[in-house]
Amino acid sequence: MSRHKTIGFGIVGTGMAAELHARAIAACADQGARLVGFASRSAEAALAREYDTQCMEPAELMERTDIDVVCICSPSGMHARQALQAMHSGKHVLVEKPMALSVAEARNMVTTSATTGRLLGVAFQRRSEPLFQRVWQAVDSGALGSLVGGLVSIPYKRDMDYYNSAAWRGTWALDGGGALMNQGIHLLDLLLWWMGDPKHIQARAATLRHDIEVEDTLCATLAFQGGAMATLLATTATEPGFAHRVELYGTLGGIQIEGEQVLRWQTAYRDGPPAMRNKAETAGAGGDPRGIPITGHIGLIINFMAALRGGEPLLADGRQGLRSLAIIEAIYAAAGLNTNL
């Protein structure tokens, strides 16, 4: 694809995720991104009016010749089918997390991407954030030494109004899981990026606060090749909700991050840490699902366009989405959850 060609985007869905994608595409207009329209079966047109675009049926959007990339922002249980439809229609796909609700569906998506020659990206937007890329560089360069431990804590608040805002939320059939699948998958993806795939998993889960099918609280321990270990806590049952934390430790140093800010960065190399925090981190997405910074999604759109133009690989392709989904399935199995997948 020409480096100067305008890249047309279509968005399937009109919810919170669709709004994030729309804002990110609009922010990349000077780099050739163009939002063509939205697709929604309920014909909700508020976002389309806001961005002066069209609202159409999903099938119509898939066939538009002025759309190069389809962003799948529909309920999770629809991701796999719609992504396959888009790729078979000749479109490249950027799909929201989770990319599918089962490993089998995700494998089919990865295979279809390869056979059709269409790009398949997964919206793990934190991979595009400079801070988390710096963590990867510290791991890859050996600045932390041999990794010995990691910690992910996601003490979020989601009240029943959140789950009642859409019939699919909190269900196995269309949400695919609870605090881990919906909220925790982003930080689990970071942990796997930095530490690799766990070899042994133990987990417990419960629904402590909400009247929903899926778990609202889960704790897991992961053991990796070479002996490193990590713990993960994901919950939507706290009050008022707190910023997530990510910690990574090795034989030569450690990194502690709260929200999007560094608490402590101590490694074997004196290259200087990213800016340390100088004030308390707000809950952000921990207290409000709309509290997600837009910078990560902008980075994803920039990366996707660069990949289309031949300049760089995707930060999170279908294989990475499949990897995270496979570990979530294993964690749910270890917790004894009946996901009906």
Fold agreement (7-124, 126-289+317-334): no
Predicted confidence at residue 86, as pLDDT, reads 98
pLDDT over 90 for what percent of the chain? 84
What six digits make up the tokens of 242? 């707190």
What six digits make up the tokens of 304? 């996707």
| pLDDT tier for residue 272 given thresholds of 50, 70 and 90 | low
Tell the burial category of 229 from Cβ atoms under 10 Å away from its Cβ (0-12, 13-18, 19+): middle
Maximum C-alpha span of the chain: 56
pLDDT digits (tens, 9 = 90+) for 160-195: 999 999 899 999 999 999 999 999 999 999 999 999
DSSP state of 252: T
* Distance, CA of 230 to CA of 250 (rounded, Å): 12
pLDDT digits (tens, 9 = 90+) for 13-27: 998 899 999 999 999
Any idea what the Cα angle at residue 204 is, between residues 201 and 206, rounded to 5°? 150
Mean pLDDT of the region 85-112: 97
Domain 126-289+317-334: assigned CATH number: 3.30.360.10
Query: Mean pLDDT score of the chain, rounded to an integer?
Result: 92
- Long-range CB contacts (< 8 A, 24+ apart) of 159-167? 160/210, 160/211, 162/289, 163/210, 163/211, 163/212, 166/15, 166/75
Least Cα distance to 154 among 183, 132, 126 occurs for 183
| pLDDT tier for residue 341 given thresholds of 50, 70 and 90 | very low
| pLDDT tier for residue 127 given thresholds of 50, 70 and 90 | very high
Predicted confidence at residue 101, as pLDDT, reads 96
Helix (H) / strand (E) containing 280 = none
* pTM attached to this predicted model: 0.92
Mean pLDDT of the region 204-233: 97
Are the beta carbons of 230 and 327 closer than 8 angstroms?
no
Are the beta carbons of 159 and 129 closer than 8 angstroms?
no
Residues 6+ apart with CB under 8 A from 294: 20, 23, 24, 27
* Distance, CA of 149 to CA of 298 (rounded, Å): 31
Query: What CATH number does domain 7-124 carry, 2.40.50.140, 3.30.1600.10, 3.40.50.720, 3.40.50.300?
Result: 3.40.50.720
Predicted confidence at residue 78, as pLDDT, reads 96
What six digits make up the tokens of 62? 């898939």
Predicted confidence at residue 3, as pLDDT, reads 62
What is the strand order of the sheet 217-224 is part of? 198-206, 217-224, 229-235, 147-155, 245-250, 253-258, 261-266
Predicted confidence at residue 153, as pLDDT, reads 98
Tell the burial category of 256 from Cβ atoms under 10 Å away from its Cβ (0-12, 13-18, 19+): middle
Domain ranges within the chain, ordered by starting residue: 7-124, 126-289+317-334
